[in-house]
A and B are shown apart, each in its own frame.
Chain A
């Protein structure tokens, strides 16, 4: 006698209770607050906001807490929340030249107007575990002002403009609204607006590997960091009823302008070209990798041969989203026994046929 297993519902409920218990860990250890995560794991929060496409440090911290620190899961939680939000307005383009910078560096020039400002960076730290953090320490105090040197610092890449050495970036003349992948499906070939949105939401590890591949010869583009700047910019929206734009708040962003050599083509003299990266918070690695991949994806537009994975729009854009990728990879955990049964039946049939043929051949040989 056989009774088929039932009770998927009870199993799911129990599994989720176990998950909640494991998330909390040892109850003798004080529970993390969302504020602690927001303040002390801020780079994790920044990544979740960037790839989750929502600027809200509290919600990102909550997502991280709920996801037990799993970033991709936290990004998924935030995205699934984002999809339910109404859309009130589209902001005006943020003006990063007017950023209140806390970090700003260029590798192209030793010095430039406004100077180099290291800001809060892991760069030049020696990666030695700091055992003093094991114990409770005093709150460290930085010396000097923490940035915000000037109201407006010129963009380094614009300094190259004077000589016409670098390509100009102008808005599309047709004044068309920018694409939005969260409303419209990706259609190819994709314009740069859609590509940049895709890359901004893309998995950091994926972009890092693709960007790295361009440095190792797969679509080499001779990159220099024209400028990286991090800081606060204001977000403005147009209010039609008022007839002027209103500042609705500040966000922290990191911008990377990559400057790349371009040997020129039949129609264009040699000059420098650009790759662009932007992230929420201090996700600097992400912004740099994004800029490398953005430049690689411009191959066709600049008349370069498309030979490497990072230059292949369809390959790069279709596989960049970690919420999509994680879901589809992990859906292999779902039951597939119907498909598998069909395959089993087929493989058995094929094996039986081959066995019969062999037997037949042996019998003929014996005669």
Chain B
């Protein structure tokens, strides 16, 4: 049993509504989510509330999660692909305290996944919702700092500046030098920022079976990619979109198809690569895949 029953058993904090936000606020957020789903990729302004965690630390994703979470949900929270990074631990604890719902580290068991900076390696299903924490929702922000201007540009689908930026990358460096937060067109209409995920993850948004919700608390915007929606990275015919590759496979599970984190081992240049998605990695190890630095697999170590 991998669902953490010890979490589910704890009572929620007295004096607070289920999932912290009051029901009126949840309804307001759900209305914004419905609008976002109806207009894929469009940034819906919403009355973002002050959360007990700092702005920039996932308040948008938390408000979206709080608005959609129910008592029967199983929640997974990841940061950089891992369940045990400090902020993921902190947000998971927050929802455990405020809702008492079951949590899990298994992607396949989760009904609701809140993430920062990664999309899980395992394909998602129609029964899952992926909530992204978004720091800056506006894809045109580095090209045009004014919100009043960028809203106009979206209204007119005026995205030439982004193509010019990518073209300038190519003329200067020989290829597009955007490594993460790669701009995409959603449903052929809105230019969208996929929150800062590595471009390795960008293709996963396309025609995904799960509902993908994006929450930006400080910037007070919600947007969405409904299930089975076209999400196309901007590119050129002679410079097609490409994802990053590694010279090695995962040192623990030998995966060659996952996003790898580089871990520095010493001060003489020694390093290894391991899966950023900890659940994917441990599942592969449990299935018997061994990387070059993996410990011999033990049954109890997996529990």
Instruction: List A residues at the B interface (Cβ < 8 Å).
Output: 1-9, 11-12, 76, 79-80, 82-84, 86, 182-189, 314, 318, 323-324, 326-331, 334-339, 341-346, 350, 353
Contacts of A324 in B (CB 8 A): 55, 218
A342-B180 contact, Cβ under 8 Å, with A184-B47, A353-B174: yes
Contacts of A329 in B (CB 8 A): 56
Verify A335–B173 contact, CB threshold 8 A. no
Verify A338–B276 contact, CB threshold 8 A. yes
Verify B50–A186 contact, CB threshold 8 A. no
Q: Which of B147, B198, B276, B295 contacts A3 (CB 8 A)?
A: B295
A187-B45 contact, Cβ under 8 Å, with A328-B55, A330-B54: yes
Encode B136-162 as 1/0 by CB contact (under 8 A) with A: 000000000011100000000000000
A185-B54 contact, Cβ under 8 Å, with A4-B274, A338-B118, A345-B246: no
Contacts of A8 in B (CB 8 A): 84-86, 88-89
Residue of A nearest to B16 (CB): A84
Q: List 12 A-B contacts (CB under 8 A).
A: A1-B293, A3-B295, A4-B252, A79-B50, A182-B50, A185-B48, A323-B50, A328-B55, A334-B57, A338-B261, A341-B260, A344-B262
B196: interface (CB < 8 Å): yes
B241: interface (CB < 8 Å): no
Q: Which of A5, A182, A345 contacts B244 (CB 8 A)?
A: A345
A338-B45 contact, Cβ under 8 Å, with A84-B22, A188-B147, A327-B55: no
Encode B14-38 as 1/0 by CB contact (under 8 A) with A: 0010001010000000000000000
Instruction: List B residues at the A interface (Cβ < 8 Å).
Output: 16, 20, 22, 45-52, 54-57, 59, 79-81, 84-90, 93, 116-118, 135, 146-148, 173-174, 177, 179-181, 196-200, 218, 220-221, 244-246, 251-252, 259-263, 265, 272, 274, 276, 278, 293-295
CA distance A359 to B56 in the complex (A): 45
Q: Which of B54, B174, B181, B246 contacts A76 (CB 8 A)?
A: B54
A342-B57 contact, Cβ under 8 Å, with A185-B48, A334-B79: no
Contacts of B261 in A (CB 8 A): 337-338, 341
Contacts of A11 in B (CB 8 A): 86
Residue of B nearest to A329 (CB): B56
Q: Which of A2, A9, A83, A328 contacts B50 (CB 8 A)?
A: A83
A4-B180 contact, Cβ under 8 Å, with A186-B220, A328-B135: no
